[in-house]
Structure 1
Amino acid sequence: MITIEAFRTLALALPEATEEPHFEKISFRIKKKIFATIDEKKNLGVFKFNEIDQSVFCASSEMIFYPIPNKWGKQGWTFVDLAKVPTEMFEDALSISYNTVAPKKR
């Protein structure tokens, strides 16, 4: 289980990550691009994955990770159930989401 505060702490520990509001949610960004959000009311997080990473997380943990059921899900945006996700899996997913959005180093 991941608390909202643990989510925030882990996300903000990533290089250059910032927290900003995004409609009624909390978003975490790198260079103004969102890599994760939190819906406190539903106790859900959202991560941005590429197609392969999304399929791996969703296939291995379909009760924990699942695509957003619309065009955003087809673009890699994926729900994570914060009440069910193990800490290590959450940390891996957060890191992958961050690296998916972060500018590529030259």
Structure 2
Amino acid sequence: MVSPEDFQKMALEFPETEELPHFEKTSFRVNKKIFATLDLTHLQASLKLSIAEQDIFSLGQAGVIYPVPNKWGKQGWTIVVLRKIDKTLLRAVLTSAYCQVAPARLSKGITRP
């Protein structure tokens, strides 16, 4: 299990990340682009992945990591259930999401899973 505070701390470790409100959620952005949102009501996060990464991370993770069930999911937005995911896997998914939207100058030195 990952707490919302753990998620927030992990998301803010990436270079030039800022935390801002996004409707009823909290967003984590780099270069003004959202790479993750945190939904405290449902204890889950939504992360922006490529379709290929979404498929890979979702494989074998039913109920833990899965596409958002609408048009956003077809664009790579992926739900992560915080009470079911371990920190190592979350760090990998967050890294992929950050690198998906961060400028090359920021993501260049980050090792992707």
Q: Same fold (TM over 0.5)?
A: yes
Q: Give the structure-1-normalised TM-score.
A: 0.96
Please state whether the residue corresponding to 1:70 is helix, strand or coil. Answer: coil
Aligned to 1:100: 100
- Measured in 2, the distance between the counterparts of 1:60 and 1:48 equals 19
What CA deviation, in whole Å up to 9, does each residue of 1:28-87 have, x standing for no partner? 000000000000000011110001100001113122001011110000000000000011
Question: Is 1:16 aligned to 2:16, yes or no?
Answer: yes
- Identity %, equivalent residues: 43
The within-5 A match list for 1:1-106 is: 1-105=1-105
Structure 1, unmatched stretches of 5+, are: none
Kindly report structure 1 stretches of 4+ aligned residues shifted beyond 4 Å.
Answer: none
CA RMSD of aligned residues (A): 1.1
Report SS of the residue matched to 2:53: helix
Question: Once structures 1 and 2 are overlaid, which stretch shifts more, 33-42 or 96-105?
Answer: 96-105
Could you state the TM-score of these two structures normalised by the residue count of structure 2? 0.90
SS at match of 2:95: helix
